[in-house]
Amino acid sequence: MSESPEDQIVQTGGVPCAFCDSTDTELIALFGQFLLSSQFYCNNCHSVFEAVRWKAPSSGEADQKNKGD
């Protein structure tokens, strides 16, 4: 069973706030204004911000994609 994006965010220890860099943040919406962003709330400065959801490919995945070129 694969992990949901919410589970991945919780396991990484939070997303840093765009305003104060605190990692005491909560996911409030899995999707923001765009499908590639999520909305978060900062418990430190009480700001709402969006962060881009990004999963970088592992080196093995990148190598396999480059072999096809």
Band of residue 27 on the pLDDT scale cut at 50, 70, 90: very high
Band of residue 4 on the pLDDT scale cut at 50, 70, 90: low
For position 35, what pLDDT does the model report? 85
Q: pTM score > 0.85 for this model?
A: no
For residues 59 and 51, give the distance between their C-alpha atoms in angstroms, rounded to a whole number: 24
